[in-house]
Amino acid sequence: MSLPTQKNLNNVVTHAGRVGVLMGGASAEREVSIRSGNAIVAALSQRGVAATALDWDGSSAMPLEDNFDRYLIAVHGRGGEDGHIQAALDLAGVPYTGSGVLGCALAMDKSRAKMVWIGAGLPTPDFEWIHPTSDVREISQSIGFPLVVKPACEGSSFGISIVRSEDEFGAAVLRAREFDANVIAERFVTGSEYTVGILGAVALPIIRIETPREFYDYDAKYASDDTRYICPCGLPETTQELVSDLALQAFAVLDGAGWGRVDFICDGEGQPWLIELNTVPGMTDHSLVPMAAAHAGLSFGDLVLAVLATSMSADVIQ
C-alpha cells in the first residue's frame, strides 16, 4: 500500500459533502481535542471542504445533525476514543473517520489492549491490575522496580507515575485513580521512546522522542519547547522495518482502522516494546502524526484530507 496521491486527495474534496468535526468531550484531554479540531477545520476549509466545528461537552447529547454527510472525529480520550461516539454514529448510519467501536474500546483500555497483544504474541511490558486488596509486595515481586503506575483508560500521560520503591506506590495509585478506577502497574522499560503513525495500511516514518523529563508526560507533549522529535529516528534500517511491521500488527490485532499512532519503547538491546495505540491521535502543532506525515511528504492539509478519506469507500476516492 502507498500514501494517497494528489488525485486521491482531490477526490476526497469532491466527495466530502458537509463535514462535522467533532471535538471537545469531557475527558482530561478536552483542551487538546479542541486545539486538534480547530486546526482540522481550518485545514479543511482552506481546501474547500464545507467543515463545521462541533464542540461536544461530553455530557449532553452529541451534536449529530441530519445535514452532515460524514464526521471527522477529533475527540481524544474517553467519550471520543473509547467507542462511544463511534457507536452513536453507527446507529445513526453516518460515516466517520478512523476505527470502529471494537478497535477504539480495546485501544482505550490499556489493560485489555495488552492482553490482546500478549495473546497475539506481540511484545509488551508485563503488567498487573491494581485492586483495592492488591499487595504491593506481590506486585513488585512480579514486575520489579521501577514500575509504571497508570490509569488504564486515559490519554496524554495523565495520572502516570514512575514508582521506584514501595513507599511511592500508594501515592501513585491514588494519583492514577483521580483519572480512572481501573489502574495498572506495568514493568518500566529503560530505553528510548518512539512512535509510529499509521495512515491506511502505511506506517509513517518513525519518530524518536527525547525529553529531559523523567518520561514523555503531558507538559513534554504539549507545552515544553525542550522536547526533541528526531526523524529519521536513527534506528538501524532492519530495526526500523521490524518496528514498522510490529506497529501495523499491533494496530490490526486491536481492530484498528483508518489511522492511528502506536507508541513504543526500545530497550538497550534494541527490542521494541508496545506501550499503547491511539486511535484518535493529536493534530496540534506539537502532535506526532503531522510531524511524521510531513517527513513522508504530506502537508498538514494533505494529512487531514487523508484522514477524512477513511470515512469513504476506496472506490470513491480512487
**Among 82, 180, 263, 302, which one carries the catalytic annotation?**
263
C-alpha 244/C-alpha 251 separation (Å) is 11
Per-residue cell: 295: 517527513
From 276, 287, 302, 311, the catalytic residue: 276
261 part of the active site = yes
65 is catalytic: no
Q: Is 282 a catalytic residue?
A: yes
Question: What are the contacts of 297-304 at 24+ separation with CB within 8 A?
Answer: 297/3, 298/3, 300/39, 300/43, 301/43, 301/46, 301/47, 302/4, 302/9, 303/199, 304/40, 304/43, 304/44, 304/47, 304/72
Buried b (16+ CB within 10 A) or exposed e, 95-109: bbbbbbbebbbbbbb
Active site residue 29: yes
Active-site residue, from 71, 261, 287, 311: 261
**Residue 192: which of 222, 236, 137 has the closest Cα?**
236
Q: Indicate which residue of 96, 194, 216, 222 is catalytic.
A: 222
How many degrees, rounded to 5, is the angle at CA 53 between CA 49 and CA 58? Answer: 145
- Nearest partner of 199 among 117, 281, 317, judged by Cα: 281
Active site residue 229: no
Report the alpha-carbon angle 245-250-254, nearest 5. 145
Q: Which three cell numbers stand for residue 23?
A: 471535538
- Nearest CA-CA partner of 136 in 112, 115, 167, 181: 167
Contact 168, 161 (CB under 8 A): yes
Catalytic residue list contains 214: no
Beta carbons within 8 Å of 169's beta carbon, 6+ residues apart: 136, 139, 140, 149, 163
Q: 78 catalytic, yes or no?
A: no
Catalytic residue status for 278: yes
Q: How far apart are CA 163 and CA 137, in angstroms?
A: 13
Query: Which position among 20, 25, 27, 29 bears the catalytic label?
Result: 29
Enumerate the active-site residues: 29, 156, 222, 261, 263, 276, 278, 282
